[in-house]
Structure 1
Amino acid sequence: MRFQSASIDLSGRGAFAAELAGHIGVDSYGRYRPTRQIEGPDLGSQTKIETIARYHFCLALENSIAPDYVTEKIFDPLCAGSVPVYLGAPNVGEFVPANSYIDATAFGTPAELAAYLRHLLETPSAYEAYFAWRSQPLPESIASRLPLLETPAKCRLAELVHQRMQQGQGLSPGWPSLPFGGVSFLRTKLRRWRKSR
């Protein structure tokens, strides 16, 4: 199963999910091309976690592939007790326990991945091995990051922007730093200009 609400697809997740669905059943939820609807009232993240918990596997497909770009897509299935099938950040292993997810890029084709998922369904001990991390302490590399979560994400982002500006990562003296890229900068300027008219 998978949840997808945005059409953004810089990772190839759409084609990947479509090909995988040709080899093994994939229920899709969310606003973008759903094949299933939420049963009962939608209570947001609680309903999402409850829905994911009904499945053995959850496709955790990021909309972009970049180092450190790790979103709720992998954490929701871990919380729900489902095994994430992950396509995204190449260093995702720095953010989640080892052997807690299936790396979609480890397979040559979606057909090979589908065959492996069927194998896990037919071999309960192999499937249960993906939950061994739950009975062990978190790796120090992950546990040491938890205190960072006490500071709200927007505050951490503001601090990062401030640090980059202090390091002089702007275009040139007098130009602003562009931590989100030139296109985002121009869009913001255009929005402000339109509001001022």
Structure 2
Amino acid sequence: MGTSGRGVGQGGGRWAQRPVWKGVLVLGVVAPAVAVATGGAVAAGGGSRVRAAGTQIACTSMAGSTTFSPGITRTSQSIEATSATGPQKPTLTGCSAASQPAIVSGTVAWSKVTGTADCTTGNGSGTFTVTWKDASGGIVGTSTVTGSAGFTIDPRGAITVSGSGTVTAGLFSGGTVLPVFLGVAADLTKCVTTGVTSVSSGGSFAIA
């Protein structure tokens, strides 16, 4: 599974994070956009374009939503995650890459990432595509990423997400994807009614 940071937010990769859950369900998304949080790989703050040594590209902001079908409930079941479209489409901003200086932003898209989840644990895998853009909105290139991820929610409501992702084609091929989610949330009451059908997230993104 994106932003929306959320559920199953695609050969071999993984991701990570930890938000908190009070009155809302904080889902670290088992979506492909989830990845290993490596302290210092991406500088936070502002929107200023910053890259750490050894990082191929870093984006200071990542935001968007993910939808789930069927909705996530208390009962573990197979689900599919799809990135939102329109205004909620997962978007990367504040991007900087030494080898591709024209890149300033990007959009992320995945469709029918598969996994298993309930309102306490989940896991999934699949593929997503990052479309990189320049200052005028023109397409500079794309990166295809394959990976897997999982999440757990403890009795206090804190969630831990872990996983990994690898760029398998396009720009930055062979790189390790490093999204860091700062927070994702959905309506907790839906766990016992219609199920959680979407979550949104915010954070940062890098490829090392």
Q: Same fold (TM over 0.5)?
A: no
Compute the TM-score of the two structures, normalised by the length of structure 1: 0.29
**Greater helix percent: which structure?**
1
